[in-house]
């Protein structure tokens, strides 16, 4: 592993990645530790717990085996999420019958993965939001989560997904609208709906720290 780290995390990522591709296992372990939680958040709420573990491992493996040249402004993080996105799509295609179409702009995670492990969240608003996210189209869910959980900008998300920036903006707007519709359908009370919608961005951002945390004791 390089002995000195750059002040720029993105530059440091690239140095670690280059070392990893050259056979430095410690560099790969450093990147795994740095980005494991981000990948776990990406797959969480879209696939089963066992599939999440496999997809995380396969994402890191595909990164180093592909020996791709990282281009664009998103650096290693964007490259990693791009690989994860491709593997997620492949996972979903594998669960469809041959000949069935797979349009992630219209189908939701709840339709493709109806049986999920327990959704974790300390507050009702958080559990409600996680379930609502599973019920909007996957392409919209991914963009909403990358925006709110990983704090990624439009251009970086566009690079990750391989779509124009305008498409990211329109899907984010559509995703929020559909999310609010699902919240209204799922909320057990008007009070819960109000507290969730009145501070939706805060609840969404807070989930970054909650989706991987153990449930609070009763």
- How do the domains of the chain map onto residue ranges? 9-210
Give pTM, 2 decimals.
Answer: 0.83
**Exposed e or buried b per residue across 43-55, where buried means at least 16 C-beta atoms within 10 angstroms of its C-beta:** bbbbbeeeebeeb
In this predicted model, what pLDDT tens digit does every residue of 195-209 receive, in sequence order?
A: 999 988 888 888 877
Classify residue 166 as exposed, middle or buried by CB count within 10 Å of its CB (0-12, 13-18, 19+): exposed
List the structure tokens of 4: 């000195």
In this predicted model, what pLDDT tens digit does every residue of 36-92 receive, in sequence order?
A: 999 999 998 899 888 899 999 999 999 888 756 665 556 889 999 999 999 999 998
Q: Which of 56, 81, 77, 61 is nearest to 20 (CA)?
A: 61
Q: Judge whether 80 and 39 are in contact, CB under 8 Å.
A: yes
| pLDDT above 80: residue 212 | no
Structure confidence at residue 213 as a pLDDT band (50, 70, 90): low
In this predicted model, what pLDDT tens digit does every residue of 165-197 receive, in sequence order?
A: 999 999 999 999 999 999 999 999 999 999 999
SS3 assignment, position 108: strand
In this predicted model, what pLDDT tens digit does every residue of 10-50 receive, in sequence order?
A: 668 888 988 988 889 999 999 999 999 999 999 988 998 88
In this predicted model, what pLDDT tens digit does every residue of 127-159 receive, in sequence order?
A: 889 889 999 999 999 999 999 889 899 999 999
Q: What is the pLDDT of residue 217?
A: 38
Q: What is the pLDDT of residue 73?
A: 57
Q: Judge whether 13 and 76 are in contact, CB under 8 Å.
A: yes
Q: What is the pLDDT of residue 24?
A: 92
């Amino acid at each position: 592993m390089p002995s000195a780290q750059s002040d720029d995390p993105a530059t440091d990522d690239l140095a670690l990645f280059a070392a990893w591709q050259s056979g430095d296992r410690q560099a790969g372990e450093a990147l795994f530790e740095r980005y494991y939680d981000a990948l776990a958040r990406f797959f969480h709420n879209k696939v089963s717990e066992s599939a999440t573990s496999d997809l995380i491992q396969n994402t890191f493996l595909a990164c180093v085996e592909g020996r791709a040249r990282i281009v664009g402004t998103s650096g290693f993080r964007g490259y990693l999420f791009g690989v994860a996105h491709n593997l997620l799509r492949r996972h979903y295609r594998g669960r469809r019958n041959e000949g069935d179409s797979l349009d992630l702009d219209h189908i939701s995670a709840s339709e493709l993965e109806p049986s999920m492990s327990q959704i974790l969240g300390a507050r009702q608003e958080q559990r409600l939001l996680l379930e609502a996210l599973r019920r909007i189209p996957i392409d919209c869910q991914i963009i909403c989560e990358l925006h709110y959980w990983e704090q990624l900008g439009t251009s970086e998300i566009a690079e990750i997904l391989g779509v124009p920036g305008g498409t990211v903006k329109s899907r984010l707007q559509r995703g929020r609208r559909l999310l609010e519709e699902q919240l209204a359908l799922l909320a057990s009370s008007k009070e819960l709906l109000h507290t969730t919608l009145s501070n939706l961005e805060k609840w969404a951002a807070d989930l970054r720290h909650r989706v991987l945390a153990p449930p609070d004791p009763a």
